[in-house]
Structure 1
């Protein structure tokens, strides 16, 4: 992609939430060294059992991003499970007969956000990377669809783009800054740098744009 013109860095000081309750355990969970059900703080997720927490935590990167947005704009922050339940009711998550989950589905999610909080939310199935910096500069935060391997900036292209949501929170001349709900502690969770020159390998060109009303 075309690298944005050099400009002063911009960073929105957004609180960070992992998609697991204990951010320090993200790497051991992602690499299957520890079942998510063994996270000692699982109850803070709002789940009724460790098994429910385990199942949902792998799927709620979008709810982690939403929690970050709510905290940033000074709004109450429900548990991830409370937010997920609202999204299921709104059709933004759909439980399949085979036991899987479809979502996050952007259009019903954006409508749900606008109906629930004093926020503007726009579903963007086509969101060119060249627009990201301008949107961030206008005070918005962006949920972007990327491949999960962005957490380690793998030098080769992943098998697909998208499949995981990160929250864009700022930029530098050479890199986009994101909060990655499945990032690794101390390396790729908060204000993680994705060089503009690397973004195309991971970014699916779609997302949701959020702002405070």
Structure 2
């Protein structure tokens, strides 16, 4: 699975300057014209990585250009006025992945290879921003790293297994590198994908755009659309949206979103927290815990108590964010939010090039009050 229609022609395209539009198999990509394929095929590494993940989960997936069309509707690509195509915009791309494919996706704007390893060990795949030469000529200096994604799929014995959608040989496409060498090609950004264990059949959209429903016409219709997404899993329980984000996703006014959310809250389907947003309500669990605190505040209090009791002595590393998220049954973003007060009060610190917070003290100003 590559970003090009014919894998055997990748070497000629990337190293010999051949026009990808000369690929006789261009129609297999889902492109409607040869010109469209030629223009976009060099920019589809992220789309190809997503397609690989969907094929892994479902056994089938939309074509590259069907996926591209959805990503562009979410403004996931920067398209300049002069016709140039910029890199993949990770935040709207992750929105597209979550909303259109019911695939939990988190953006990581700053991450180390240790973070990648933690996520892989936790059962995730990671779309990592990396050099196009990753896996192709890994011993060479990658130079400037830009506009390319590889799909990291596993970690074993200090090596990262990954797929490079622009690999010119089978070995380059299905590659393995030591973590330290992968780090030389990785620029510290990516999108983690939390793939469910059971496959879900892919249902293609109607071929005729006129058959697709338009935007909701009122708050009642918007509430019904949101409820559909909650019930079929497209709006997962760990996905939180602001009113502005929902208004953008459904192409409606924020006032309409406000009314629709009130309808859903009345039915007990969603819950809203100030300055955070709205998410589906989880059965037998809400944003508050038995002690009346938010989940992040509860986790902060619990970790502070563990440090004070000596469970996490000074100099020891805390469990990874993936491990803490699994323990407290929350999204990793909640763990990140919960760690901030401990960091601000001097209880923990994150050493350079490390993905773990280390305990630096056993008392802080907050615990002394």
SS at match of 1:52: helix
Does 2:186 align with 1:203? yes
Scaled by the length of structure 1, the TM-score of the pair is 0.85
Separation in structure 1 between the aligned mates of residue 80 and residue 157 of structure 2, nearest angstrom: 43
Does 2:46 align with 1:57? no
Scaled by the length of structure 2, the TM-score of the pair is 0.51
Spell out, residue by residue over 1:149-179, the C-alpha distance to the aligned partner (whole angstroms, 9 max, x if none).
2233343433223431000011221321110
Provide closer, same or farther for how the CA distance between residues 74 and 23 of structure 1 changes in structure 2, counting only shifts above 3 A: same
Cα RMSD of the aligned pairs, angstroms, is 1.7
Q: 2:116 aligns with which of 113, 132, 146?
A: 132
Spell out, residue by residue over 1:21-77, the C-alpha distance to the aligned partner (whole angstroms, 9 max, x if none).
111221122113532112121101111222211111100000100000101111641
Separation in structure 2 between the aligned mates of residue 135 and residue 158 of structure 1, nearest angstrom: 24
Task: Write out aligned runs for 1:1-213 (5 A).
Answer: 17-32=1-16, 34-74=18-58, 76-190=60-174, 192-213=175-196
Segment drifting more, 17-26 vs 56-65: 17-26
Separation in structure 2 between the aligned mates of residue 55 and residue 115 of structure 1, nearest angstrom: 27
Whether contact under 8 Å (1:47, 1:53) holds in the other structure is yes
Which structure has the greater CA radius of gyration? 2
For structure 2, list consecutive stretches of 5 or more residues without a partner in the other structure. 197-369
Number of aligned pairs?
A: 196
Separation in structure 2 between the aligned mates of residue 112 and residue 184 of structure 1, nearest angstrom: 29
Separation in structure 2 between the aligned mates of residue 101 and residue 33 of structure 1, nearest angstrom: 18
From the two aligned structures, give the one with the greater helix fraction: 2
